[in-house]
Amino acid sequence: MTQLTPQLRYLPNAQQQALWLENVSIQQLASQVATPFYCYSKAALLNNIHACKAAFEPENIHIHYAMKANSNLSLLRIVAEQGLGVDIVSIGEMHRALSAGFDAQDIVFSGVGKTTAELTAAVLAGVGQFNLESKEELAVLITIANKHQQLVSTLIRVNPEITVDTHKNITTGAKGNKFGVNFDDVLPMLVAAEHSPFLQVNGLAMHIGSQIHTTAPYLDAIAKIQTLISELKTQGYTLTQLDLGGGFGVQYKDHQMLTSNTGGSESDYLTFNDFSNAITSALADWQGRISIEPGRSLVADIGVMVSEITYIKESQPTSFIVLDAAMNDLMRPALYQATHALIPVQLPLQEQVPSTAQLNSYDVVGPICESTDTFAKSAQLPNDLAAGDLMCFLYTGAYCAVMSNSYNSRPIAAELLVDDDQAYVIRQAITQENLTAFEQHTALKLL
Ligand SMILES: *Cc1c(COP(=O)(O)O)cnc(C)c1O
- Residue 27 DSSP SS3: helix
CA distance 227 to 293: 22
pLDDT at 348: 84
pLDDT at 261: 46
Closest-lying ligand 1 atom to the alpha carbon of residue 211: 7
* Cα–ligand 1 centroid distance for 444 (angstroms): 40
* Cα–ligand 1 centroid distance for 353 (angstroms): 36
CB 96 within 8 A of CB 73: yes
Strands (E), 314-350: 319-323, 342-344, 346-348
Residue 91 identity (one-letter amino acid): I
**Shortest-distance Cα residue to atom 11 of ligand 1:** 245
pLDDT at 162: 85
Closest-lying ligand 1 atom to the alpha carbon of residue 398: 8
Which residue numbers in the chain have pLDDT < 50? 1, 261-263
Q: What is the DSSP letter of 56?
A: H
Residue 210 CB neighbours (<10 A): 26
CB 135 within 8 A of CB 181: yes
Sign of CA dihedral 396, 401, 403, 404: positive
* Cα–ligand 1 centroid distance for 398 (angstroms): 11
Q: Which residues are catalytic?
A: 369
φ/ψ region of 247 (left if φ > 0, alpha if ψ in -120 to 50, else beta) reads: left
**Shortest-distance Cα residue to atom 10 of ligand 1:** 246
pLDDT at 1: 46
* Cα–ligand 1 centroid distance for 104 (angstroms): 19
Helices assigned H by DSSP within 14-134: 26-32, 42-56, 73-81, 91-100, 116-125
Q: Spell out the residues 6+ positions from residue 58 whose beta carbon is closer than 8 angstroms to its own.
A: none
pLDDT at 263: 46
* Cα–ligand 1 centroid distance for 90 (angstroms): 13
Residue whose CB lies within 8 A of the most ligand 1 atoms, among 207, 248, 251, 270, for a mutation test: 207
pLDDT at 4: 87
Residues in the ligand 1 pocket, defined by CB under 6 Å: 66, 68-69, 87, 110, 207, 210, 245-248, 293-297
Q: Spell out the residues 6+ positions from residue 240 whose beta carbon is closer than 8 angstroms to its own.
A: 202, 203, 287, 288, 289
Predicted confidence (pLDDT) per residue in 200-218, tens digit: 999 999 999 999 999 999 9
Which residues are paired to 307 by β-bridges?
391
Closest-lying ligand 1 atom to the alpha carbon of residue 68: 1
